[in-house]
Amino acid sequence: MQVKSTVKMNMPRIRELTDAAVKALELTAEAVHTEVVQAQAFPFRTGNLQNESTFVDYSNSAQGKVTLVSSTPYARRLYYHPEYNFDKKENPNAGGEWYKGWLPGGKHSDFAQRAFKQFYKRLGGV
């Protein structure tokens, strides 16, 4: 017994879904940034670090990678030294390692996955 099959690829739809995945990834990174800001986890003196100096780098989004970048010279020092005495007047949850809750093992570790799924469903029409 012989079986034959024909597969037709719907390339325009595959491109739409690929584009939707890229856009969903970008929106997810923005949502994570917004979520961390709203959780008041960034160190806060003037608001510069969380507002103007932290942004999403989309330059590699087509390859499936986005990066949250804090461009101030002091961001690395603050992030990797949670033992510093952070002012909690403006942001009561301020401290080092402000993304820790959204990384694997953190209490919000499923946030990015859920956000991506929601964005992809909406943008991809699935």
- 47, pLDDT greater than 90: no
- The conformational region for residue 2 under phi > 0 = left, psi -120 to 50 = alpha, else beta, is beta
C-alpha dihedral (86, 90, 92, 94), degrees to nearest 10: -40
100, two tokens = 């820790």
Average pLDDT over residues 88-115: 96
Contact at 8 Å (CB) between 86 and 41?
A: no
Per-residue pLDDT of 49-96, as tens digits, reads 999 999 999 999 999 999 999 999 999 999 999 899 999 999 999 999
94, two tokens = 């301020």
